[in-house]
Amino acid sequence: MRWGTFKNTVREKYLFRRRALLSLVIIFLLSAVLGVRLYYLQIVEHKTYTTLSDKNRVQVEPIPPTRGLIYDRNGVLLAENRPVFSVTIVPELVKNMDKTLARLSKIIKLSPDDEERFRRHLKEYRRPYEPVTLRYNLTEEEIAKLAVHRYDLPGVDVGAELVRYYPYGSTTVSALGYVGRINEKELKTADPVNYAGTHYIGKLGVEKFYENILHGTVGYQNVETNARGRIMRVLERHDPIPGKNIELTIDLRLETLAHKIMAGQRGAVVAIDPNNGDILAMVSSPSYDPNQFVTGIDYDTYKKLRSSPDLPLFNRALRGQYPPGSTVKPFMAIAGLDTGTITPAFRMFDPGFYQLSVGGRKYHDWKRWGHGWVNLHSAIEESCDTYFYHLADKMGVDDMDKYLSMFGFGQNTALDVDEAQQGLLPSRAWKRAVKREPWYPGDSLNMGIGQGYMLVTPLQLATATAVLAARGTWHQPHLLKQVMDGTPVADVLPKQTMSNIHLRSRSEWVSVVGGMEAVMNGPHGTARRVGRGSPFQLAGKSGTAQVVGLPQDNHYDEKEKALRLRDHALFIMFAPAEKPKIAVAVIVENAGSGSGAAAPVAKQIVDAWIQGFPADKDIKPVQDVDEGDR
């Protein structure tokens, strides 16, 4: 018989108590840890987690400001904000996007560009409940059609937003520029807070330069959302501050007149008030409608503009660079007088050419048989090349460079026009650095009549003319007249950098201006046909800029050249001569003689500003004027 082992109840009770006690200690410790953690989360970190919770429930949405308006000097609205209706789609409400797009294309017109842009934006959106714009600028008929079919198009809706609109389109785009859809590159440089929710930004012109003033300050609203992020209600709203309205120096009447005169031609017109630097008109022809670019231009239209041989997208007034031709001669005359190279009484004989040395190359005058005996007055009046060849040869490039730079050539002196080119004012240093060649005497001769390397923009030419009209007093050109909330213009415009021109004697101004007056009404003035009979005294100078070079000793036969190889016509003018109110620079590309094509344009601009604007029937386009002298 085997005897079994008896239970030790005392020992078992002891083990049980010990294990139970250990379990209680563990439970207590875990409870303590949990309690400490709950205390930390609910008491210590209460504010932090309340904020995080609110972030899940409350979203901050930016409210873009309304863009400031732009007016001309007379209070005419040049740039406004108009509601544009667009068709939008909420992705989460659309089961089959391809079918929806196909159905919409049968109701409204959708281009391949519209669909491509929509699908690109669709990928960029993170929240499926946000509407994505499919097409802008819906007509009333299209809105009505969409309303009729709305029941059959879930997720499709018609939305409205304020976008920029330019009532005068191509007439004012040279100065105003335009706004367009803000891109990724622009977003990186813009203030991320102030541009939150903003879809448009200034791309060119005034719209770009004064972006900070016109844009305004962003607002915001706190909205309560559900678990999916959909807005349930608005909790708090802070309205945006609209952009400031501005008034420009541009006069729409003058701008429109210049636009009509230049219709059908390639060229530019710039008019400036010599007394304060106000840019009164700035027109580039041909032009384009900036409204096409605001919400996005379609591919075919843009391709047509880009491929046009007339370059409508190119702002000739600011970026066109041309040889100044004979329009540079009054400024050369100022330099010659002030350096003592010539005097008003100095005379020389013009046989129709100039030679640096006996038997050397002949630099021909535009008048084959020459002008005979000429002095400064008659040389400006008749635009005698030979006289200015001699002046440039004796004066040299260093003085020419010095004095022409005083008038703003070779630099952008406009205070608020960023896109303007600087032109080219050649010098010894420039030629050695760029051409790797020394400066030759022949280079000086070409520069003396505005040919060779020298290039100017219409804005530069108008600016220099305004300084000449003001007898050396500088008022740098600008487009801003006033900020309409009372902000001082001096606080907004950049500071003037150019210094007044002080000559040895005021009589030097008198001599040169007298020659320019003779251009308009002297017996041999190159623009006497245009200036004859004017009720006030005009001062002007014609110019003909050579487009292609001529072999030595060859004369120019305009009729033998294709239209686009003909010379450019230039003209500068200010009036009245003694107390000028306006200075104008005109260029008409491939029009030949400056006095024949460009002078009548300048005369109509000056007449309108001083005497009053003509009726449409009295406006004479460029192609209707007769060809005159050089």
Task: Determine the 3-state secondary structure of 543 from DSSP.
Answer: strand
Which of 462, 474, 465 shows the shortest CA–CA distance to 516? 465
Amino acid type, 109: K
Task: Determine the 3-state secondary structure of 189 from DSSP.
Answer: helix
Task: Assess contact for 270 and 281: CB atoms under 8 A.
Answer: yes
Integer CA distances (angstroms), 54 to 44, 57, 70, 364, in order: 17, 5, 42, 84
- Which pair of structure tokens corresponds to residue 277? 């630097």
Backbone angles phi, psi at 364, to 5 degrees: -80, 145
How far apart are the C-alpha atoms of 160 and 255, rounded to whole Å? 32
Cα torsion angle, 418, 420, 425, 430, sign:
positive
User: Residue 14: CB partners within 8 Å, gap ≥ 6?
Assistant: none
Q: What is the DSSP letter of 242?
A: P
Task: Determine the 3-state secondary structure of 608 from DSSP.
Answer: helix
* Candidate list 285, 287, 326, 595, residue with the active-site label: 326
Distinct helix (H) and strand (E) counts, the chain: 23, 20
Backbone angles phi, psi at 520, to 5 degrees: -85, -30
Backbone angles phi, psi at 504, to 5 degrees: -65, -35
Amino acid type, 624: D
Task: Determine the 3-state secondary structure of 87 from DSSP.
Answer: strand
How far apart are the C-alpha atoms of 503 and 71, rounded to whole Å? 39
Task: Determine the 3-state secondary structure of 142 from DSSP.
Answer: helix
Whether residue 326 lies in the annotated active site: yes
- Element at 256 (helix H, strand E): helix 252-261
How far apart are the C-alpha atoms of 483 and 493, rounded to whole Å? 10
Q: What is the DSSP letter of 217?
A: B
- Which pair of structure tokens corresponds to residue 136? 């802008």
- Which pair of structure tokens corresponds to residue 497? 């950098």
Token pair 């959909």: residue: 230
Q: Per this entry, what is the length of the chain?
A: 630
How far apart are the C-alpha atoms of 416 and 420, rounded to whole Å? 10
Task: Assess contact for 460 and 477: CB atoms under 8 A.
Answer: no
Task: Assess contact for 397 and 335: CB atoms under 8 A.
Answer: no
CA angle at 265 for the pair 262 and 266, rounded to the nearest 5°: 105
Distance, C-alpha 122 to centroid of its chain:
32
- Which pair of structure tokens corresponds to residue 315? 């702002």
383 torsion bin: left (phi>0), alpha (psi -120 to 50), beta (else): left
User: Could you tell me where the beta strands, DSSP code E, fall in 302-347?
Assistant: none
Catalytic residue list: 326
